[in-house]
Structure 1
């Protein structure tokens, strides 16, 4: 079976040449995931306007988490970056940890809402549709994955 694909050549991508474009590709992927997450909840709100507005707090906290996670450079977390200021690397690590906790909390809360409000009530006669809960969960998962792609998919430039 290996012989039939042996001479198969895939032409190289002209616009993507590896590490030179890694930051751009990570930014594009993270932005796309963030957009898709918010697009899900916009679709939910437009299709089901009677959805509880308090559930949007999960998405807001997920977005704040994205900014918290990506506002700290990897060099500062490792201790290679600027060490002055009030907190230094310990403060950066605490800030990053709180950002991850907030992101995980948003995903867990949206999962809780999905199952407690939408999935468990499907056996009832006037049960709400499941899509608002699924959309809320997908919003928070995509925002969190987008923040991880942006944080760990980039290569940082070192000014030595």
Structure 2
């Protein structure tokens, strides 16, 4: 999956665009559009939940403790992308108190938090809004989409980049 931009041709024209060199920028913009980490581009997930919080400020329609899932997803996003693929493979990280094992444990914990927040947002959507028979379901949908966008943005940012340019 990490080399899908390398073989893209631009139709039948003879223009050769080297997408491989722009791969990190494309992955950063795509991940930023899905989540809320990379400045102005990282907005969709948090923008949805901010809209729901402004539209339904009462505690009865939208319980404010539901923001916890988005915060945990954002922390997981940062944890997943704080560890490079070289550190996980053991290519570029051999010092420190734990080394490669510590990088793998950190990445595993980040993925556990990301999956946990995504599953919790689904549970909040269905248990808190759909099954409960509330007439206002948009806050539950907003919580789910916020966590889904952050989760998929983290995956795109982690696996869409190449580390060859960092060396």
TM-score (norm 1): 0.86
Larger Rg: 1
Partners of 2:23 and 2:95 in 1: how far apart?
30
1:56 aligns with one of 41, 51, 67 = 67
**RMSD, aligned α-carbons:** 1.7
2:82 aligns with one of 44, 67, 71 = 71
Q: Which has the higher contact order (CA 8 A, sep 6+)?
A: 1
Q: Deviations over 1:19-44 (max 9, x none)?
A: 01000000000011011100110111
Ranges in structure 1 where 5+ consecutive residues have no aligned partner: 1-8
Matched residue count: 146
Q: Deviations over 1:10-66 (max 9, x none)?
A: 66889x631010000000000110111001101111111121110000000000000
2:46 aligns with one of 38, 42, 59 = 38
Match of 1:140 in 2: 147
- 1:103 lines up with 2:114 in the alignment: yes
Q: Give the 4+ runs in structure 1 shifted more than 4 A.
A: 9-14
Counterpart contact for 1:40–1:139, Cα < 8 Å: yes
- Compute the displacement of 1:146 (Å): 0.3
- 1:131 lines up with 2:134 in the alignment: no
User: After alignment, is 55-64 or 42-51 more displaced?
Assistant: 42-51
Ranges in structure 2 where 5+ consecutive residues have no aligned partner: 1-10, 36-42
The structure-2 alpha-carbon separation of the partners of 1:10 and 1:95, relative to structure 1 and needing over 3 Å to count, comes to: same
The structure-2 alpha-carbon separation of the partners of 1:88 and 1:121, relative to structure 1 and needing over 3 Å to count, comes to: same
